[in-house]
Amino acid sequence: MNKKDTIENLFDRLKDDFDFEQPENGHQERFLSKLEQSKGIVGFSKKKTSWWKPLSIAASIALLCVLGLQLYNNQPTIKEQVVEFSPEVSETEFYFASLIEEQIQVLKNEKSPENEQLVADTLKHLHNLKLDYELLEQELINGGDGKLILNAMITNFQTRIELLKEVLTKIETIKTLKKSNDANFTI
């Protein structure tokens, strides 16, 4: 190439020597694989996407989650631990709890505008006593004085029952007074 040749002259002269043929399908992949084999160079060949790797990762994560949940769920509940400590407690608790639930239902059925505040306060006190009972259960599990805690648990149930009886008696008294006042004010 002479210095005097311009680019246009160069292309005019070489235009018959250009190769306009299209390579066969897969030519680039074959070329790059041969290049990799001969020189150990990593090419830019398209890798087939494998769905096994993401699937195996997802399966591993799912397996770990299931195992973690199994370990977490295998811990006994407080109630189960109390039963292990003293089986009689569960029988006593079942008896008292069913009796208290019956009385609470009666109390809710007796609710009226005249005694609404009394019922609400009673339910609040019962809730607080239940929370105290749960604390006693936790103390029993943690290794506190077993006899003393069991007595406190029974006393808690008895207190709830006595509270319900007293409130139901007051509600009956309110109903009786209302009936007698209504009878006195007859037109």
| The pLDDT value given to residue 84 | 67
With vertex at residue 25, the alpha carbon angle to CA 23 and CA 26, rounded to the nearest 5 degrees, is: 105
In 10 A of CB 137, how many CB atoms? 19
| The pLDDT value given to residue 164 | 92
Please classify residue 56 by burial: count the beta carbons closer than 10 Å to its beta carbon, then call 0-12 exposed, 13-18 middle and 19+ buried: exposed
With vertex at residue 162, the alpha carbon angle to CA 179 and CA 94, rounded to the nearest 5 degrees, is: 120
| The pLDDT value given to residue 129 | 93
Q: How would you write the pLDDT of the chain (187 residues) with one tens digit per residue?
A: 555 658 888 777 777 777 777 778 888 888 888 877 777 655 555 556 677 888 888 888 988 888 877 777 766 666 666 666 666 777 777 888 888 899 989 888 888 888 889 989 999 999 999 999 889 888 887 877 778 888 888 899 999 999 999 999 998 998 888 888 765 655 5
Q: What is the pTM of this model?
A: 0.54
Residue type at 49 in one-letter notation: T
| The pLDDT value given to residue 123 | 92
Question: Which sign does the torsion angle of CA 145, 147, 149, 150 carry?
Answer: positive
In 108-126, which positions are buried (b, 16+ CB within 10 angstroms) versus exposed (e)? eebeeeebeebbeebeeeb
Please classify residue 82 by burial: count the beta carbons closer than 10 Å to its beta carbon, then call 0-12 exposed, 13-18 middle and 19+ buried: buried
